[in-house]
Chains A and B, each alone.
Chain A
Amino acid sequence: MIEKERLIWIYRVMNEIRYFEEKAYTFFTQNILRGSVHLYTGEEAVAATVISLLRQDDYITSTHRGHGHGIAKSGDLKAAMAELMGKETGFCGGRGGSMHIADLNKGNLGANAIVGGGIPIAVGGGLAAKLLDTDRVSVSFFGDGASNQGTFHESLNLASVWKLPVIFVCENNQFAISVPTWQSTSVKDIAVRAAGYDMPGFTVDGNDVLAINDAMEKALDRARKKEGPSLIECKTYRWKGHWTGDPEVYRTRDDVAAWMEKCPIRRLRAYMLENKTATAAALDKIEAKAKAAVDEAAEFALNSLEPDPKTVMDNVYCVPGKEA
């Protein structure tokens, strides 16, 4: 059961992510964005639902497919779009780009372009929460591919042995670039791996906000009570290729179309209408506002300054008095 206000928040954030990714895709095809852009379209329910339960002082780590997590944790569409464009006003002043959105003041310890690289860092967030004597939790988002990295297994073991408040959220979108999970992964449900590390494991429909919420509430309760970590596997699907230039030889248009039928946003909308959480008009308004916010962020980013090349050597090291 999700309270009305939070459902509406989730709906808004999912729409913001959806429009943001559509805008990013358009900008990429227009050569306004460079680099690798990994779109989260179709997976919005995971970031929005998980983060809807977090406080601002809770930590997350994110992935190369990290726009959704960054937007949900910070709520700053402008800094996100500006970062994708490499502008000075971006989250990282244009030094990180699409794959490195971070906002430490709001608990985002950073998106990571190394598959599985953020998992131990989230464990460190959990250790800090514990040693600083807080009830903060740390959430690591990662994909199905990362569950075959050593860091996944080492980190689950370490977090379990130390009973750290870490929630491992696996976004199983069923392909590691072009390789389907059945070719690369020893188990059908990645969450069964939790048993090897003596922690609860949940496999849920990653397009179902309520199912994600249910698992996340259990994991969060356990983490806040300092009882230890959990693993949640959200089975979902990315509508776009691995990146914006992916030839997508590994699936058919019909496969994609079938998953688009399971759109998590439409599904949440139907649920909210059915339960009279909001009227169709109210939800339309939320969607329109989300779209307008993305358009505004895009304008902001387009009009932002490029970083000054004279500053290229700034912040290689932290210099006393210039910590920022």
Chain B
Amino acid sequence: MAIKTYAMAIKDVLAEEMRRDKNVFVMGEDIAEQGGIFGCTRGLLAEFGPERVRNTPISENAFVGTGVGAACAGLRPVVELMYMDFAYLAMDQLLNQAAKIRYMFGGKAKVPLVIRGQQGIGRGNAGQHSQSVESLFMHIPGMKVACPSTPADAAGLLRTAIRDDNPVMFFEHKALYATKGEVPDDTEFMVPFGKANIVKAGTDVTIVCSLLYVNRTMEAVGELESEGISCEVIDPRTLVPLDMDTIVASVKKTGRLVTVHEAHRTMGFGTEIAASVTEQAFSYLDAPPERLGAKMCTLPFNLGLENAVVPQKDEIKAAVKRTLYR
């Protein structure tokens, strides 16, 4: 085990996988000499050279598409989007191409492509650089979606993503890059897709959360526990595939569900989870599921306004208490 930041965990796995497999390469904006604006590719240029560590022009649709083509032709590209908000510039290549190629071509192609980058609030980046867009990618068959909340998960999920033969959207969170945690030294350490992490066991209520909101939920949970409310906190870690078994088993135990995320509440992944729980464990529910997510409002620049849009600790606590009729 080593203590690493979330950013360092990502950088180390990229380097380890590039050492292991010469077909793995990275490209994106400002990722070579600068090492990415958050440092996730720092040092890769020096070790692997400019053929495998490529600065791209600011042409998201073209360089994502280039990744799609290179993946079809046998490479394993890891493409960095500087902000996941910029995925919108490459939606055709992501959703019409990468996600569909295997199926549309009758299973005779594979697209081992990782699109990784950060998203979310925390740096005053306003409406076009602070969004949480992971839920959008659950709606399109053919994409996998990973959302690590800890340095260890970042490392283990990224290694799994790079070795997966499908396109993977890998969502990092800008406010998590500096967080530290233990990461196994094993260069084969992988976190399987579709296996949720029970962050904390509990008996009264199930809370499903991801990315930055695992930490934020845990702050609320600390206070709820001191009020005698036992919370089970689940981080799904991947949204596609989604480990509903773990979530449903938990709700069958607690009888209550709260979903918390930074993505907009309407059609956010919490909506899908709440609906699935309602289908699969309706008779176990002692209260309606509660869904927390960003208000249906563009992320504002001003800190006070930004805080007013995304779920706050007191709102998480209040939602948990509503499920307990307290």
A positions within 8 Å CB-CB of B:
59, 61, 90-96, 100, 102-105, 109-110, 112, 114, 117, 119-132, 138, 150-151, 154-155, 157-158, 161-162, 314-318, 320, 322-324
Contact = CB atoms under 8 A, between A and B. Distances in A.
A316 B70 contact: no
A92 B108 contact: yes
Given A121-B69, A122-B69, A158 B75 contact: no
B127 interface: no
Given A95-B105, A314-B107, A121 B61 contact: no
Contacts of B144: 317
B305 to A, nearest CB: 33
A279 to B, nearest CB: 41
A104 B65 contact: no
B61 A150 contact: yes
Contact of B65 (A92, A120, A162): A120
Given A59-B73, A120-B68, A320-B165, A92 B62 contact: no
A124 B142 contact: no
Contact of B142 (A114, A128, A157, A316): A316
11 contacts: A109-B69, A114-B92, A120-B61, A120-B65, A121-B65, A121-B66, A131-B51, A151-B62, A151-B65, A155-B62, A318-B165
A124 B71 contact: yes
B67 interface: yes
Contacts of A61: 69
B92 A117 contact: yes
Interface residues of A, dominant DSSP: mixed
A128 B69 contact: yes
Nearest to A92: B106
B179 interface: no
Contacts of A317: 102, 142, 144, 166
A323 B57 CA distance: 33
Contacts of A90: 106
B108 A102 contact: yes
A124 B68 contact: yes
Q: Which of A105, A119, A138, A322 has the most CB of B within 10 A?
A: A119
B103 interface: yes
B63 A158 contact: yes
Interface stretch (B9-17, B93-101, B311-319): B93-101
Contacts of A322: 107
Contact of B97 (A92, A94, A114): A114
B65 A96 contact: no
A128 B75 contact: yes
Contacts of A125: 69-70, 72-73
Contact of A318 (B65, B77, B110): B110
Contacts of B97: 112, 114, 117, 121
A124 B97 CA distance: 13
A91 B106 contact: yes
Contacts of B67: 124
A212 to B, nearest CB: 24
7 closest pairs, A vs B, by CB? A124-B69, A120-B65, A154-B62, A315-B107, A128-B73, A93-B106, A92-B106
Nearest to B109: A104
A91 B77 CA distance: 26
A33 to B, nearest CB: 18
A131 B70 contact: yes
Given A317-B144, A318-B110, 15 more contacts: A91-B105, A96-B106, A102-B108, A104-B108, A105-B108, A114-B92, A120-B65, A120-B69, A125-B73, A131-B52, A131-B70, A132-B23, A155-B59, A162-B54, A320-B165
A90 B110 CA distance: 18
Given A131-B70, A131-B75, A323-B165, A110 B105 contact: yes
A131 B69 CA distance: 13
Contacts of A114: 92, 96-97
